[in-house]
Chains A and B, each alone.
Chain A
Amino acid sequence: GAVVSQHPSRVICKSGTSVKIECRSLDFQATTMFWYRQFPKQSLMLMATSNEGSKATYEQGVEKDKFLINHASLTLSTLTVTSAHPEDSSFYICSARDQGEGGIGPLHFGNGTRLTVT
Chain B
Amino acid sequence: AQKVTQAQTEISVVEKEDVTLDCVYETRDTTYYLFWYKQPPSGELVFLIRRNSFDEQNEISGRYSWNFQKSTSSFNFTITASQVVDSAVYFCALGRNYGGSQGNLIFGKGTKLSVKP
Contacts and interface: CB of A to CB of B under 8 A. Distances in A.
Q: Does chain A bind chain B?
A: yes
B72 interface: no
Contacts of A77: none
B43 A112 contact: yes
Given A43-B91, A91-B43, A112-B43, A102 B100 contact: yes
Contacts of B109: 42-43
A49 B104 contact: yes
Contact of B44 (A41, A42, A110): A110
B30 interface: no
A109 B45 contact: yes
Given A43-B110, A44-B107, A108 B47 contact: yes
Interface residues of B, number: 25
A105 B104 CA distance: 12
B105 to A, nearest CB: 6
A106 B44 contact: no
Interface string B85-110: 00000010001010011111111111
B64 interface: no
Interface in A74-110: 91, 93, 95, 97, 102-110
7 contacts: A49-B103, A49-B104, A95-B45, A102-B101, A103-B101, A103-B102, A105-B50
